[in-house]
């Protein structure tokens, strides 16, 4: 494992890995651990958006819809240029979820010295994520990395279903675009956390070898 991580780190440089998946697929959980393991910085578009909505007293995503693209560009893209991220690799969680945004994300990341090197898809069925949501609701808390804050866009099952629909209609085309570019790494996200993390490392290692940069 350590040898694989070392080679992934060398291949990644100051680049970025963007992680996608259905809501409750484990993007932030995997992303935080991957960032810690690689010595990278973790950026979650969802966390940034919720912070900005709170600061601006806005509620664009409360009902499960994606943030309008113009606001995504205004709120999220400037993060790539932040001075405190300069020289560091990045692990991103669903940055650029709406079809067309991926082009601007790649441009902004490249310009800031954090080119997108790979995109990871955590493949989890809709039935599985719904079950996870119901279990989390039963426990009375969200199972998210480093936060227990209640999310309004997960307040009820109808809203959660809207998030799934938004993913299928708006984000799946983004993932297909990355696949067409040869950047997609698909990992089954249905196993336990440790297994999923190890599978992500294994797949990223194999992907890095395929790029001929190790």
Reported as a pLDDT band with limits 50, 70 and 90, residue 53 is confident
Q: What whole-number distance in Å separates Cα of residue 10 and Cα of residue 54?
A: 38
Q: CA geometry: angle at 149 spanning 141 and 80, to 5°? A: 130
Pairing of strands 184-188, 41-44: unpaired
Q: What is the mean pLDDT of the chain?
A: 90
pLDDT, tens digit (0-9, with 9 covering 90-100), for 134-157:
888 877 654 444 443 445 456 688
- For the chain, the domains span 2-209
Q: What whole-number distance in Å separates Cα of residue 26 and Cα of residue 206?
A: 21
CB of 93 within 8 A of CB of 28? yes
pLDDT, tens digit (0-9, with 9 covering 90-100), for 153-168:
566 889 999 999 999 9
Query: Is 50 exceeded by the pLDDT of residue 66?
Result: yes
Q: Side-chain half-sphere of 63: how many Cα atoms within 13 Å?
A: 1
- Confidence at residue 213, expressed as pLDDT on a 0 to 100 scale: 53
Mention the CATH class of domain 2-209: alpha beta
Pairing of strands 90-93, 116-123: unpaired
């Amino acid at each position: 494992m350590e040898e694989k991580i070392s080679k992934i780190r060398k291949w990644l440089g100051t680049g970025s890995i963007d992680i996608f998946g259905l809501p409750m697929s484990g993007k932030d959980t995997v992303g935080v651990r991957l960032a810690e393991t690689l010595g990278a910085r973790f950026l979650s578009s969802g966390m940034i958006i919720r912070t900005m909505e709170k600061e601006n007293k806005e509620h664009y995503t409360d009902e499960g819809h994606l943030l309008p693209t113009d606001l995504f560009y205004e709120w999220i893209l400037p993060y790539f240029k932040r001075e405190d991220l300069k020289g560091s690799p990045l692990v991103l969680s669903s940055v650029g979820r709406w079809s067309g945004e991926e082009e601007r994300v790649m441009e902004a990341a490249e310009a800031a010295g954090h080119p997108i090197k790979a995109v990871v898809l955590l493949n989890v069925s809709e039935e599985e994520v719904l079950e996870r949501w119901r279990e989390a609701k039963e426990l009375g808390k969200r199972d998210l990395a480093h936060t227990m804050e209640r999310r309004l866009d997960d307040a009820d099952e109808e809203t959660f279903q809207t998030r799934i629909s938004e993913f299928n209609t708006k984000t799946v085309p983004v993932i297909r675009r990355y696949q067409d570019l040869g950047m997609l790494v698909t990992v089954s996200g249905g196993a336990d956390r440790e297994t999923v993390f190890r599978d992500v490392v294994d797949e990223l290692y194999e992907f890095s070898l395929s790029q001929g940069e190790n």
